[in-house]
Amino acid sequence: MHAQGASPSLSILVVDDESSLRETLTHSFEREGHRVAAVADGNAAIALAGESHFDVVLLDMHMPGMNGIALAEVIRADPRTSRTRLIILTSLGKFMDDDQLKRIGIDACLVKPVKQGRLFECLTGRRAVPQKSAAAPAAATEPAPPHLRVLLAEDNVINQKVAVAQLRKLGYAPDVVNTGLEALEAAKRARYDVILMDCQMPQMDGYEASRQIRAHEQAEGGEPAYIIAMTANAMQGDREKCLEALMNDYLAKPVKNSELKAALGRSRAAMPAEAAGGAAEPAARLDTNPEGAALVDLERLEAAANEDPVILRELVDLYFAQAKDLMNGLRAAINSGSAKDVDHFAHKLVGASLACGMSAMVLPLRELEIRGKEGRLGDAEALFERASRHLELTRDRVGTYVRQYQSH
């Protein structure tokens, strides 16, 4: 942004009831030289926007009292703010098409967690130019270790050919199957280091195939394969759904060569040193708990803190303080049988968890959010206890990671 010398300083108003996201965005924008104000609700935003000029207003879609759409309509109706650029943030995927957003007066819709590059484009109307490093890696890719076995499970012939070509370019010679059932049978016959698993396949989809492969691995007691999900949906929550199915990683189709290479690199980093050819590589970016779900998306956490150790420490402390309050509210709501409050507290903590990369918290909280919306709290206590276990595991892992991060 400003640090690249490509855009002027902007005046930005952030409107979000999640304190962790307000804190993250404020640090991020101020770091780039922008002027930032942040408020927690629509009424405060209306008052502030009427008094001060803002170039951009970032609106959360889901806020108590006045949601992002209603707030956008009020801002657009005021002559003093009618030309302000409006960007709406949502954790539920894009909820309107471009024409609908344009009619309301919203310039862009971004899905949480927000990627820095996409946010740059929306703020300035220009595409972010990545900075070049003097130590940039050579364009040529290194071949995979010859003993690394890869299985590709994909039912579409065209997608198969594209994926196989990508893998061969990276030095891999994959085995190929057409269904989830065939993937399960192949995994039973031979041990694969990496399984690229399409999520939508006939006979048995990728989610169920992954679960059954994990059950077989547990029964056999061998090293588990690194399962990389591939899905064409690319909707918010898909990544968490894949991790819930005990997959290790996630790629959205169409898969870019760089993203595939990065995922395969993470698979090698997750392997024991002797299995990876004795090379010492960085730790895997996704840590798993005993249930197999990801604890923390460390890349998301670092990106949220702009890779600044001080901001990262502040963000982590803020997240766990807020999580404690929201979990207390959630427990009280479950005990009182208030489905509306269960929905409210679960939704707020989902948003904070997504923003900070606390992946393991998302799944049980999403289920609680659904239970609250549907008014079914029969298993809410069990889901709450699961979320509590994940929170403690996450706290331990993140505490260790922050100490290591700051020491480096």
| pLDDT band at residue 113 under the 50/70/90 scheme | low
Q: Is the pLDDT of residue 289 over 70?
A: no
pLDDT tens-digit series, residues 299-343: 778 877 777 788 888 888 888 998 999 999 999 999 999 999 999
DSSP state of 111: E
| DSSP state letters, 116-174 | HHHHHHHHHSS---PPPPTTPPPSSPPPPPTT--EEEE---HHHHHHHHHHHHHTT---
Q: Is the pLDDT of residue 122 over 80?
A: no
CA distance linking residue 24 with residue 27, whole number of Å: 5
Average pLDDT for residues 15-38, to the nearest whole number? 85
How far does CA 189 lie from the centroid of its chain? 34
Is the CATH code 1.20.120.160 the one for domain 299-407? Answer: yes
Q: Is the pLDDT of residue 395 over 80?
A: yes
- Which of 96, 94, 101, 99 shows the shortest CA–CA distance to 76? 101
Q: What is the pLDDT of residue 248?
A: 80
Maximum Cα interatomic distance, the chain, rounded to a whole number of Å: 69
Q: Do domains 2-124 and 150-279 have the same CATH topology?
A: yes
Average pLDDT for residues 206-225, to the nearest whole number? 87
Q: What is the pLDDT of residue 307?
A: 75
Percent of residues, the chain, with pLDDT higher than 70: 79
CA distance linking residue 338 with residue 249, whole number of Å: 36
The radius of gyration of the chain's CA atoms, rounded to the nearest angstrom, is: 23
Q: Is the pLDDT of residue 347 over 60?
A: yes
CA distance linking residue 100 with residue 46, whole number of Å: 22
Q: What is the pLDDT of residue 240?
A: 64
Cα separations in angstroms, 141 against 148, 171, 262, 395: 16, 8, 11, 37
Give residue limits of the domains in the chain: 2-124, 150-279, 299-407
Q: Is the pLDDT of residue 218 over 50?
A: yes
Q: What is the pLDDT of residue 257?
A: 84
Read off φ and ψ for residue 36, nearest 5 degrees.
Answer: -130, 140
Average pLDDT for residues 99-111, to the nearest whole number? 81
Q: What is the pLDDT of residue 364?
A: 85
E strands, 232-366, in order: 249-252, 286-288, 294-297
Average pLDDT for residues 112-124, to the nearest whole number? 71
- Which of 227, 217, 400, 391 shows the shortest CA–CA distance to 320? 391
- CATH of 2-124, picked from 3.30.70.580, 2.60.120.260, 3.30.300.10, 3.40.50.2300, is 3.40.50.2300
Q: Is the pLDDT of residue 140 over 50?
A: no
Q: What is the pLDDT of residue 89?
A: 84
Is the CATH code 3.40.50.2300 the one for domain 150-279? Answer: yes
